[in-house]
A and B are shown apart, each in its own frame.
Chain A
Amino acid sequence: MTGALIDLFGWSYALASFLLWIGAQLLGLGNWISLQLGAPSPGPLEGMIGFVTGAPLTSLVAIILAINILLLWATAFHLLIVMWIERKMYSRLQDRRGIMLGLGSSEILRNTLGRIPLIGRPFRKASHLGTGFLQTVADGVKLFQKEVITPASADKWMFHAAPVMIAASTLFLFIAIPWSDGFWIMGSRLPNGDVVNPWGVLVILGAFSVAPLSILIAGWASNNKYTLLGGMRAAAQLMSYEIPMVLSIIALVVFAGTLDPFQLVRQQSAPLTFGLGPFGTVQIPWLPNWYIFNPILWIAFVVFFITVIAEAERIPFDIPEAEAELVEGWTTEYSGMRFGIVFGFKWLRAIAGAALIAILFLGGWSGPVFAQVWIPNIASPGNLWPIPILPQEFWFTLKIYAIFVVFVWIGWSVPRVRIDQILNIGWKRLLPLSLLAILLATLARGMGWF
């Protein structure tokens, strides 16, 4: 596990045993008090202390902690940063002054707060690289305290069940996306230290597949012609782009031979190797074996990239949520946190899609480890704990943000595509292209090339 900073199950087990140890101490105190008060010895809480510190409960609490840490990492940390990146990038692309202003751009603030010696540092210069990080948090708080309005004669159960389905299927994506060799939920450790998860990519595809149904129900349940139209179009679009997605992954699988995200990253950590058929193999030692460097897979990469943009309903494929046309599309009638969930989780699907692109084509979390810093280990005193400088989580996050920047760049420079053009592209252009990619991959692999 070199290079991974966070060992999720190890840390959550340690944290769980610590918390349960505190609980056991409290129970022991209660036991002692009851013994003083005259209960027969051993005290009544003795059995519970044994239960609390036992292995099954510790593992259960450890798993719950691990799930919460991963969910917080994906939603609270990455979602906020990604939304901030998007806002800053598109405002710079479109030259919008307001979002790009920094704290020091106002003269009043510069002259008053900027004069304070240490704390006034951010206020001193007028700059474009402002903060505004808490704007997303403020939006979330605002949405929490808004009233939830159910439209008249809407289907109450479906109306409120649809955001639950959308949220559940979007969060389910993050089960199978590992963030490093130690930061994962779904997987099992082999005896030699490797981690396997035989069907990881299939789980992610499954979670993407449940989306059209929930969007259709959401659009229908609002009792609004336009949301119904938006919902049907969204379902048609999402279905049209799922087949090229699956087929381009198949083109990759012909080379990789596995759907396991851990195995895919392990394969891509080796040096770049090209097979040239009867001429032998060529190895380039200073480039990693990322599948994006393989010319046969370029068609599959382009097709997969476009389908991920379409599955995340980003511009240029955002006709379901076309802001200038259908107000908010299929989410029009949702208010308050229901809107917050369906709106914010669009970015989560974009993060998951970017993570999938990074794992499949860009080598996942493989990256150079420059140094290792040894610090004393709290858990086992006397030992040292290595911290890799530039751990795997950093490389993975960097790649996800880079792909997301490309998403934003494309999104805010290209006009929106009409719905029948979207279906045209999906069925008549991308589907034959992905079939061609599979054929090319089969031919190349069969003859020993690449």
Chain B
Amino acid sequence: MRGEKIFRADVAVIGGGPAGLAAAAAARAAGAERVLVLEREPLAGGILNQCIHDGFGLVRFGEALTGPEYAGRFLRAAEERGVDIRTRTMTLELTAERRLRTLGPRGYETAEAGAVILAMGCRERTRGAIQIPGARPAGVFTAGVAQYYLNRQNMMIGRRALIVGSGDVGLIMARRLTLEGARVLAVVEKLPYAGGLARNVVQCLEDYDIPLLLNHTVTRIEGERRVERVTVARVDEAGRAVPGTERVWACDTVVLSVGLIPENELALQAGAEISPLTGGAVVNGDLQTSIPGVFACGNALHVHDLVDHVSAEAETAGQSAAAFIRAGTAARAEDRLIPIRPGAGVRYVVPFFLRPGARSLISLRVKEPMSRRRIEVRAGGRVLAARKFPRLTPAEMVRLTLREPAPPETETVEVMISDD
């Protein structure tokens, strides 16, 4: 491009939420000189900035912080380390050669980075994606949008609300709407268990006498201009509405909390392999994607339930990115990767591959709730990690650190659940 100025960075981090900030600070700490964070909002911090409730940081700091407080700590750390945080800057393009196109206060620019960290977070599954039939009136919000309206813009979205889906943001919004004077009629969940954390079911629903209707689904939304009625039916084991069990709820608002999807348009654009299980990039134990020098972390990699874990994971990505620019591409291309196989009952495992000799942290989710189980990570006959769990639910991510690396000759590593 004629007259084009290209700026160069050692590490370019896309997204200035908790993952991006922690990754950038870690990359600096590990020796990367010029570390950029590209953040579309005027203020870094990501989704935490709209999470005014507390409970963040219990794992990491042993304190219950609000979202903005938690983000603030990482923002200050990144700034103190000399990370260049470019706000109001949207990354529009990414190539496999780690070339980025951005749009922001400095104009439409091109950057070339020694390493790229994908930390774009996630987006909410929409009504269209789950195909709730019926009219399309005003008054249907995803939970995150509702949260932004209330917490960031001070605008109230309705008077009588039904929450569809029991994801964490939906549970938190059930409480928030109640505290703001709305009547929350119920939370409708298609599965036989809640999608969100147990502590949120207790603190956001039970404490406010909001019924949680498990095994129920919305079969119709009505209302010519604004939501007027919602029909809810029980579902059978196959998840299909059972005729005759319909109940009509008069309400003006529907809040959807039906799942989060890693935001990966840029990863796809660059050609990174995406896992159908997580919706995020396929990564190895260093959190490197299928594209050398491109790393992923946080909710862009797989959806987390605790931000504390996002921060820790992002630090790994930051360190890996710094190591990558020190070592260069060639050193890594020859590495043999050992695939990790999720065993029965395991929905997914991140990372998808291990490097022989590396002691990685493994994150996983189970497919359904279970109790008194033991999870083992095995390489052939060797147990690389094992832990007992009194209870496991899909809502709560399990993390295991390998106590020893996979031996070089390992064919596959398996993650297995067995009765304790």
Chains A and B bind each other? no
The interface of chain A, by Cβ under 8 A from chain B, is: none
